[in-house]
Chain A
Amino acid sequence: MSVEIANVHPTRLELLKLKRRKAMAEGIVDILKKDLDALTVALFDLAKEVPSIRRQMTSGLSEAYDLYVESEMVVGPRKIKELSIIAQPTGFHVDIGERKGILGISLPTFELAKETSSELRPRFSLMDSPAKLDASASQIEAVLSKAIELAQIEASMHEVLDLMAIKKRQVNRIQYKILPQLDSAIRYIELILEETERQDAIRVRVLQRKRKERALKAG
């Protein structure tokens, strides 16, 4: 869309074309600014959820830790430490998908998918561990799903921020590069056209004077 003055033909047609392009560029800037506003609102909506999820995660982790300590208090720290060295970690993976967000951009979705085996077995010796340890483990799992929810929001925020940066660059390019170039090209053509008009007017006046002089000589 850039306009090089050297390549501009100083014609009325070109002037009209450039004015049309300028109007269009201004229209695009308006649209881009509206997009930016919409993206900013979406970003704030996403950001608003983060502190509450972080708080839930912190309180969940602290509750899980307290339950873990309580389980050590009930059966002794020795047994719990022993169980922890052989307990199989819970298998899980995160399903990554896509959803349509604001302005039709695709935002990532993360979903916790636990590995389910056909036979559900106790993870550790039931005789050596108290129910508080189960409660602590299930609390950690609840926190895990919150962590994944938080990751989804942060990934969406990254997408929105990336798009905002692109839009901002586009607005800046049009506002600070293309529009000034168009303005200067239009001014240049207008100057050239004015100059041509002035030359034409002088030429007409010279011709009229010469015609009058020829008429006087003939008469």
Chain B
Amino acid sequence: MKAWKYKSIMPKVLTEKHRLIEPKVIKDLVGRSPQDIGLALADSTYRKEISEIPLKQLSSLSLERAFVKSYMRTCMEIMHHSPNDIAFLLSSILMKFEISTVKTILRATEANLKIEEVSDLLVPAGSLNDVECRRILANSQTVNEVVSALSGLEYGPTLRESLEQYDRTGIFLFLEMSLDKFVCQRLWRSAVNLKGLDRKIGKTIIGLEVDAVNIRTLLRCKMLGIDKGQTKQNLLPVSDVFRESEFKAALESADIPSAIATLSKDAEFAFARDYRYVLDDILEEYRHSGSLPQLELALERSLLRVSLRMLKRYTPFFNIGLILTFLTLKGVEIRNLVACARGKEGRLSTKRIHELLIFP
């Protein structure tokens, strides 16, 4: 094990991990307005981004943008202290945000929105800074023009390929799906690129993250009655545990519990115990509640548990487990903070907001 390569990244991640907000503090924020939440977070890691928002403009939407910017900043700071292989994985995680920005630009162009109407939704990321986003939006009248403006970037060729499908069918989802597939493939590639224990942990956490999206997609398509061909188009191609045939078998199952059970059996054959834990968790939840939204919540909780389990299973230092767990915890923290702000804005009861929060 080359422990030396973690000499500067681990202290950085540990410091950031200690800056995470305590679950008790988040629970106390339930029922408080976005302004109150913004003020309460004045001395947190989000201070810099929140201070840029005028008090009157503090809403769940502006807070979400601030949190995402903060997440990206933290991720980039960690990346600067990382060795090459880990930096590549972190750049793939950051790529998710850039892809999200691309989707925002494409959606805004498809809907003929003006720049001012999109500015609330746009979070500049990666090579798409604020000026570049505005330039693309101002100069592009059609989706084709956006795609040609983005053609020089890493995902340009992928976008061009899916543009043909979009031009032929007029279905916008093809563009979104190609971007999702691109970012997932990049994430998987960066996890496979790691070495030793890092590779094992990275493949488990990233693989589960991607497969969780596939499981969600598969179960939702089953629930909505979307045909198998369409469902297959929506599945992400990367998976170490599930192959296409296994997803196909799950698709052909009679109902949702049997589809989960089929996947769980496949995970057992692949000796992927973390997958089994996750699938067993969601199967139990679905049998208990019979609700897909509840199942999705259980899936999110289960994924968080897998990340935390990695810390217990392996030493928390000198491997990528701590970094990925920290990023998962940070993501969940942001999700919880946004949920608190939006729940209050939407006048939901505090009980209901509490139910939708995820804690380790």
Interface string of B206-238 (1 = CB under 8 A from A): 000000010011011101111100100010000
Cα–Cα, bound, A79→B96 (Å): 13
Residues B60-111 near A (CB distance < 8 A): 60-61, 64-65, 100, 103-104, 107-108, 110-111
Cα–Cα, bound, A76→B343 (Å): 11
* Interface flag for B20 (CB, 8 Å): no
- Tell me, rounded to whole Å, the shortest Cβ–Cβ distance linking B299 to chain A: 10
Cα–Cα, bound, A124→B224 (Å): 12
Q: Within 8 Å CB of B121, what residues of A?
A: 78, 81-82
* Interface flag for B191 (CB, 8 Å): no
* B61 close to A70 (CB less than 8 A): no
* B352 close to A131 (CB less than 8 A): no
Q: Known contacts A131-B293, A132-B293; decide if A74 and B339 are in contact (CB<8 Å).
A: yes
Query: Which residue in chain B gives the minimum CB-CB distance to A71?
Result: B293
Query: Which residue in chain B gives the minimum CB-CB distance to A126?
Result: B217
* B226 close to A120 (CB less than 8 A): yes
* A125 close to B180 (CB less than 8 A): yes
Among listed B152-160, B168-176, B257-265, B312-320, interface-contacting one: B168-176
- Tell me, rounded to whole Å, the shortest Cβ–Cβ distance linking A64 to chain B: 12
Residues A170-185 near B (CB distance < 8 A): none
For the residues of A in contact with B, the DSSP-based class is helix
Question: How many residues from A make CB contacts under 8 Å with B?
Answer: 32
Residues B271-313 near A (CB distance < 8 A): 292-293, 295-297
- Tell me, rounded to whole Å, the shortest Cβ–Cβ distance linking A73 to chain B: 4
Pairs of residues from A and B, 6 with the lowest C-beta to C-beta distance, nearest first: A69-B346, A73-B339, A131-B292, A85-B111, A132-B293, A125-B176
* Interface flag for A66 (CB, 8 Å): yes
Q: Within 8 Å CB of B297, what residues of A?
A: 74
Q: Within 8 Å CB of B335, what residues of A?
A: 74, 76
Q: Within 8 Å CB of B138, what residues of A?
A: none
- Tell me, rounded to whole Å, the shortest Cβ–Cβ distance linking A72 to chain B: 5
* A134 close to B223 (CB less than 8 A): yes
Q: Within 8 Å CB of B225, what residues of A?
A: 120
Q: Known contacts A73-B338, A77-B64; decide if A120 and B296 are in contact (CB<8 Å).
A: no
* Interface flag for A122 (CB, 8 Å): yes
* A86 close to B227 (CB less than 8 A): no
- Tell me, rounded to whole Å, the shortest Cβ–Cβ distance linking B286 to chain A: 11
Cα–Cα, bound, A160→B140 (Å): 57
Partner of A76, one of B64, B171, B217, B352: B64
* A120 close to B356 (CB less than 8 A): no
Q: Within 8 Å CB of A119, what residues of B?
A: 227, 230
